[in-house]
Structure 1
Amino acid sequence: MPEEKIIVIKEIGEILFKKSKRFKRLSVRIAPNKGVWVNVPFTISYKEAIHFSLQNKEWIKKNQIRAKAKESNQSIFSPEIEFKTRFHKLQLCPADVNNYSAKLSDGNLQVTYPLGCTIENKELQSFIQNSIIETLRREANYYLPKRIKQLAETCGFNYQSLTIKNTKSRWGSCSHDNKINLNLHLMRLPHELCDMVILHELCHTIVKNHSKDFYHLLEQHCSELKRKRKAIKNYSTTIY
Structure 2
Amino acid sequence: MKAEKVIDVEPVGQVTLVRNERSRYFRLRVKPNGLAHVSMPVLASESKAIDFVRSKSTWIQEQQQKLKTGLTVFEQDSSFRTKFHQLKVVKVRQSKVSNSIGNGIIQINIPEHINHEHPPIQQFIRRTLVEVMRYEAKAYLPNRLQELADKHQFQFEKVFIKHVKSRWGSCSYTNNINLNVHLMRLPDRLTDYVLLHELAHTREKNHSTSFWSLLESVCPNSKQLDKELKNYQVDVF
Please give the range of the TM-score, normalised by the shorter of the 2 chains. 0.7 to 0.9
Q: Is the 8 A contact 2:30 2:36 kept in 1?
A: yes
Q: Is the 8 A contact 2:12 2:60 kept in 1?
A: no
The offset of 1:117, in angstroms, is 0.8
Where does structure 2 lack aligned partners over 5 or more consecutive residues? none
| Among 164, 176, 181, the residue aligned to 1:179 | 176
Aligned to 1:104: 101
Cα distance between partner residues in 2 of 1:196 and 1:186: 10
RMSD: 2.4
Report the secondary structure of 2:159's partner residue: strand
- After superposition, the Cα gap between the structure-2 partners of 1:4 and 1:143, relative to the gap in structure 1 and judged at 3 Å, is farther
Q: Is the 8 A contact 1:32 1:71 kept in 2?
A: no
The offset of 1:46, in angstroms, is 2.7
Report the secondary structure of 1:20's partner residue: strand
Cα distance between partner residues in 2 of 1:114 and 1:218: 49
Q: Which moved more, 1:166-175 or 1:35-44?
A: 35-44
Cα distance between partner residues in 2 of 1:131 and 1:215: 36
Q: Is the 8 A contact 2:168 2:182 kept in 1?
A: yes
Aligned to 1:53: 53
Where does structure 1 lack aligned partners over 5 or more consecutive residues? none
| Among 141, 163, 166, the residue aligned to 2:163 | 166
Report the secondary structure of 1:28's partner residue: strand
What is the number of residues matched between the two proteins? 235
The offset of 1:184, in angstroms, is 1.5
- After superposition, the Cα gap between the structure-2 partners of 1:228 and 1:17, relative to the gap in structure 1 and judged at 3 Å, is closer
Give 1:50's aligned amino acid. I
Give 2:43's aligned amino acid. T
- After superposition, the Cα gap between the structure-2 partners of 1:22 and 1:122, relative to the gap in structure 1 and judged at 3 Å, is farther
Aligned to 1:150: 147
Tell me the TM-score normalised to structure 2 length: 0.87
Report the secondary structure of 1:234's partner residue: coil
- After superposition, the Cα gap between the structure-2 partners of 1:23 and 1:182, relative to the gap in structure 1 and judged at 3 Å, is farther
Cα distance between partner residues in 1 of 2:126 and 2:115: 16
Tell me the TM-score normalised to structure 1 length: 0.86
